[in-house]
Structure 1
Amino acid sequence: MPTQTTYKSVCVFCGSRCGDDPAFTNDAEAMGAGIAANGWRLVYGAGDVGLMGSVARAAQDAGGDTFGVIPAHLVAWEVGKADLTRYIVTETMHERKKVMFMNCDAVVVLPGGAGSLDELFEVLTWRQLGLHEKPIFIVNTKGYWDPLKYLMNHVADQKFADESLLDFLTWVPDAAGALEALRVGLAET
């Protein structure tokens, strides 16, 4: 599924809430600003709330190109950010994920809830099935995703997945680590 642009695009999955630690917002802002500073396009869920809004506003403030995709039923709830470079309203959640993924070269997962997990597991499953080779980075701000890392290891340990599944995820401690890993990962694609 190639990107529709001649430059690199980074899809960011993250919460529509800010969470209980300012470090989550700080990493979202650093991610958005860093994507713009590297000349990449931000692809995300088009919300203007929570970490989604923080990453998008930071990318815009840094002069970045922004591509948002939101399903019609979430426009009011997630406050659809229509002032993006490109703003698309889809009919379904599945269509949202598909459009976001088709228009990116790499995936970054910041802290988030069930929606972020859904997005992560869909692209991880596609990777496991050989449908793509795009890198997937987990930003483990202040250990937020430690239980997920434990669970993924447990799944492999219990033989419900090959150990190779673990190789499809690159764990980084913060936005700075994600940006450095992206510079390497995107240079290879």
Structure 2
Amino acid sequence: MARICVYLGSREGRSPAFMKQARELGALMAERGHTLVYGGARIGLMGALADAALEAGGEVIGVMPDHLVEREQAHFGLTELIRVTNMHERKATMAAHADAFVALPGGIGTFEELFEVWTWGYLGLHEKPLALLDTDGFYAPLLGFLDNTVEQGFLAQATRTMLLDAESPASLIQQLEDRLA
């Protein structure tokens, strides 16, 4: 069973589909025996994902810098909450605990984490699969932009192919499991 690091928003977003699919993914991960590794918050999509995984009997590891424990409202009901000193340590700790990476809808932090871990894969620092859950078309503009980046010669097709995408949690988990096999 894999440890899957999920990057996602600490806000709920406007579409009800965001919360719905975050909860579906958390429950499905637990049902399939995967451990969730995430940022450790109890609010927004982050909290919904973690709660669903816990409710389904899954293991959940949260990683949060000390200075964000109060600001992000840390989830103290997790299997494990790892407190770190800063954001760099948070990202490194999450990556070290992960066998695969997933991004759900989120904001600037989610984008930064996604692109950093993708860059690490491109540079050969890891060979872990990476995927986007394109809930309600959230990532469609980004996927189009990335395809255009390939067409314009700034991104190799092999690098673009590293980033999987799916519109449903079940399809996303299956793709990750196939890559991990």
Sort the TM-score into its range (normalised by shorter chain): over 0.9
The separation in 1 between residues aligned to 2:122 and 2:56, in whole angstroms, is 35
Work out which of the residue numbers 41, 46, 54 in structure 1 matches 2:40: 46
Q: Which runs of 4+ in 1 moved over 4 A?
A: none
The separation in 1 between residues aligned to 2:63 and 2:163, in whole angstroms, is 24
1:133 aligns to what SS in structure 2? coil
Deviation at 1:11? 0.6
Q: Confirm or deny that 1:28 pairs with 2:22.
A: yes
Where do 5+ consecutive residues of structure 1 fail to align?
1-6
Where do 5+ consecutive residues of structure 2 fail to align?
none
Q: Confirm or deny that 1:61 pairs with 2:72.
A: no
The separation in 2 between residues aligned to 1:131 and 1:81, in whole angstroms, is 30
Identical positions, percent = 42
- Counting only pairs closer than 5 Å after superposition, residues 136-155 of structure 1 correspond to structure 2 as 136-155=130-149
Q: Confirm or deny that 1:16 pairs with 2:2.
A: no
Deviation at 1:136? 0.5
1:3 corresponding residue in structure 2: none
Output the amino acid matched with 2:118: L
The separation in 1 between residues aligned to 2:106 and 2:43, in whole angstroms, is 12
1:137 aligns to what SS in structure 2? strand
Q: TM-score, normalised by structure 1?
A: 0.92
2:72 corresponding residue in structure 1: 78
The separation in 2 between residues aligned to 1:115 and 1:57, in whole angstroms, is 21
Work out which of the residue numbers 106, 110, 116 in structure 2 matches 1:112: 106
1:36 aligns to what SS in structure 2? helix
Output the amino acid matched with 1:71: P
1:135 corresponding residue in structure 2: 129
1:4 corresponding residue in structure 2: none
The separation in 1 between residues aligned to 2:70 and 2:152, in whole angstroms, is 42
1:101 corresponding residue in structure 2: 95
Work out which of the residue numbers 120, 126, 129 in structure 2 matches 1:126: 120
Output the amino acid matched with 2:99: D
The separation in 1 between residues aligned to 2:173 and 2:118, in whole angstroms, is 20
Output the amino acid matched with 1:22: P
The separation in 2 between residues aligned to 1:141 and 1:42, in whole angstroms, is 19
The separation in 1 between residues aligned to 2:179 and 2:78, in whole angstroms, is 26
The separation in 1 between residues aligned to 2:130 and 2:84, in whole angstroms, is 24
Output the amino acid matched with 2:65: P
Q: How many residues end up aligned between the 2 structures?
A: 181
The separation in 1 between residues aligned to 2:79 and 2:37, in whole angstroms, is 10
Output the amino acid matched with 1:151: F
> Comparing 155-164 with 104-113, which one deviates more in the overlay?
155-164
Deviation at 1:21? 0.6
1:5-35 per-position Cα deviation (integer Å, ceiling 9, x unaligned): xx42011111110100110001100111011
Output the amino acid matched with 1:145: Y
Check the 8 A contact 1:156/1:165 in 2, yes or no.
Answer: no
Check the 8 A contact 1:40/1:64 in 2, yes or no.
Answer: yes
Q: Cα RMSD over matched residues?
A: 1.1
Q: TM-score, normalised by structure 2?
A: 0.96
